[in-house]
Amino acid sequence: MSPASHVFHEIFLHINWHCHDDRPLIKSAAEAPLHDLIEEYCRKYRGVYFNRSGGTDTHVHLLVQVEPTVCPSDLIGKVKGFSAHEMNKRTGARDLKWQKGYGVVSFAKKNLPGLIGYVENQKEHHRTGAVRDTLERWSVDVEEGVYRPPAD
């Protein structure tokens, strides 16, 4: 029995993170295997329910529902570490590296279908400039205490 099974929870998270130096390190051939690895890891992580992942050649978006026992920073660190390690192992290279920062925002269950569409159509949103600023933020400028959106 899950530790949170006796607790009502609807905790939905939108998470995004970028490649090192915001470089286009996610090549077309690696995109589907990368998202498969992210899904596989999330499905095995206790208290995490995978909804969708997607992104562009420079960054990843992830939608999950979590139980209250899940610490978002732990989950994000582990997903990032696992996905980069496994992709590099499979390709025999050390090409894929993630930046330290990430963005995470919570959202209501009723917004899940719209956010799934947003994540699935990342390339088009970035091509046309129709991005949602809150969902693209990935880092905080500690000196200024403000968010910095990624450079497109």
Q: Could you report the per-residue pLDDT of 38-87, keeping only the tens digit for each?
A: 999 999 999 999 999 999 999 899 999 999 999 999 999 999 999 999 99
Which CATH architecture does the domain made up of 11-141 adopt? Answer: 2-Layer Sandwich (3.30)
Q: What's the pLDDT at 143?
A: 45
Query: What's the predicted TM-score (pTM) here?
Result: 0.83
Query: Does residue 129 surpass a pLDDT of 70?
Result: no
Mean pLDDT of the chain: 84
Domain boundaries, the chain: 11-141
* CA atoms within a 13 Å half-sphere pointing along the CA-CB vector of 139: 19
